Structure 1
């Protein structure tokens, strides 16, 4: 009985992987809004009713793709940090930023699923949160480690964070426990700047604006580090 169940589990895992692989290809041609379980079933040679045993709705399939993508970018960032000198906090920040950009350029449609236009009618469930914070957790460790080492201090002209931050950004603040709100807020601003820059490049806003985008990106994320107070 156990062997039979294990065999069924393997078959289910293989079919689930095939479904998500086809769905990722659909993202490239139809976009997230055009994702269709029926189209996936047709490509697999399955009847529509069969695919619903794996993903009861389009939203369930979207959620699986989102979790996979968050885990992929999180893993890329974790692996990048593992190669960096843990005492070189600016170097770690730069390494992680380049890992985000490299992953986005290699997986543009998955990046767009995470950071592009919201899918009409879709609301991401709580089950996506754990995967979604993997990369943020690594960036937060860089900030927390830099603060503990005395290697991060916002410039004197840095304005105070909004008073509302005391009750906001709970996930970010929990990841940077012990770090003052001023640095947390500036780190959140730098984080936003990083993804804004990547999104501008990926979605074409830099067309006819920047040619040497790799060099421009490096300068940009160094500027973001400086505005955060890292490497001053």
Structure 2
């Protein structure tokens, strides 16, 4: 799934948009067959029957193409989580939490190579630009919104302690939470543990250890919900 973009208006813009989409689709296929580290604009051009110089007019470097794949991956994951959470009853905080977490796992299982690009081993020589930051935060924003709604309704009580200092100054406010809530460290724990649990399952670390992955995942996310104060 691609991130939202304005529709091309002219014939030239439509052709460019189509070719850009084809390049990205082929590159996504190469993630599955060769991995992100081996992604090559020349190989993509060869598969499309184009000269490499033509592909460079759309993506000046391999890193530009990787960034596009990463942004689209984060956006697709974020949209899946947002839609699932939005479909749950607003008053059911735990249900919304489970819907969001379950959607993240389902997306990862359905798109393992794209998930590996987002949360697997770093690609040698690649440094993610600022463009990736907002898409990468979409899942965390959904989880924080559930907690924020719980605080607003009184269903969630801020825990004691100074966990707010774990997060960068102002970040809790950007997530819609009071800066002095004391939930900063707990939210970081929940966010990192969520993707850790998904990654361990997806990359085979829990195979031959966990016999019922879906049930185990729900148990993990229930404990994470309790960690941030959501009522059972």
Is 1:61 the counterpart of 2:54? The answer is no
TM-score (norm 1): 0.91
What do residues 53-77 of structure 1 show as CA deviations (whole Å, max 9, x unaligned)? 0000000000000010011001101
CA contact (8 A) 2:165 2:184 kept: no
Distance in 1 of aligned mates of 2:172 and 2:39: 32
Aligned to 2:79: 75
Distance in 2 of aligned mates of 1:136 and 1:169: 16
Aligned-pair CA distance for 1:162: 6.9
Q: 1:138 to 1:113 in 2, by over 3 A?
A: same
Which 10-residue stretch deviates more, 173-182 or 7-16? 173-182
Aligned-pair CA distance for 1:19: 0.5
Aligned to 1:210: 210
Distance in 2 of aligned mates of 1:175 and 1:203: 30
SS at match of 1:119: coil
Q: In the comparison of the two structures, how many residue pairs are matched?
A: 225
What do residues 136-158 of structure 1 show as CA deviations (whole Å, max 9, x unaligned)? 22111111111111112366xx6
Is 1:19 the counterpart of 2:16? The answer is no
Which residues in structure 2 correspond to 1:52-201 (within 5 Å)?
52-153=56-157, 160-161=162-163, 163=165, 165=167, 168=168, 170-178=170-178, 180-201=180-201
Aligned-pair CA distance for 1:229: 1.6
Aligned-pair CA distance for 1:87: 0.9
Distance in 1 of aligned mates of 2:95 and 2:219: 13
Q: 1:142 to 1:67 in 2, by over 3 A?
A: same
List runs of 5+ in structure 2 lacking aligned partners.
Answer: 1-8
Q: 1:169 to 1:111 in 2, by over 3 A?
A: farther
Aligned-pair CA distance for 1:159: 5.2
Which residues in structure 2 correspond to 1:215-230 (within 5 Å)?
215-230=215-230
Distance in 1 of aligned mates of 2:224 and 2:211: 20
CA contact (8 A) 2:164 2:183 kept: no
CA contact (8 A) 1:23 1:40 kept: yes
